[in-house]
Amino acid sequence: MTAPFEQAATLGVVPVIAIERASDAVALADALLEGGLPLAEITFRTEAAAEVIAIMADKRPELLVGAGTILTPQALDAAIAAGARFGLAPGFDGEIVAAAKAKGFPFAPGIMTPSDLTAVARNGLTLAKFFPAKAAGGPAMLEAISAPFAHLGTRFVPTGGVSLDNMHEWLKLGVVAAVGGTWIATKADISEGRWSDIAAKARAAVAKAREIREAGK
């Protein structure tokens, strides 16, 4: 894996965030940093995404900020121009994968089936998002579909239905690099300025990931 994804794997959790107002970018970044989670996946589900990434990259460079929900080449270009240091998508799009590779941009497409994983392998990728993780069959499903590809060293970021209460079910799997956490900074938390709550949830997620990993040694 590339350096940004290695850092995500070290932390064990990636906060997946949809943020509506660019004016909240610095406060959100500070809350994550205060919670010991210097990482954020800002999804392109809102019009503010690119601006939020640009502000975070400029004002809080110690935060490793990436872009999520990259569904088009245009979104990929916007993420890179804004200063995103990595990107993810909910599905596999060969055009986007090729463009990211050509630009040297760390990118993890989404998978849900062995066919998706075959496409990942054929493109020489070693990290993919497993989405929607819970609805697609949970840890047992990921373990089953990833088995034929284990010799390639492919690892995953399950996202969708992952929570503080069930993240241990995912992180105990050797193929899981980190979990995607939408609960850490919800739209409601951000819109209502609950920065201390976000910091607390970030802190709890990092501590839980560390505890799970240490117990598995």
Q: Which of 51, 129, 134, 208 is catalytic?
A: 129
Contact residues for 188 (Cβ-Cβ < 8 A; gap 6+): 194
Q: Which of 6, 34, 41, 192 is catalytic?
A: 41
103 is catalytic: no
Residue 91 tokens, joined: 């599905």
34 is catalytic: no
Separation between Cα atoms, residue 67 and residue 58, nearest integer Å: 15
Task: Write the DSSP string, 98-147.
Answer: HHHHHTT--EE-EE-SHHHHHHHHHTT--EEEETTTTTTTHHHHHHHHHG
Active site residues: 41, 129
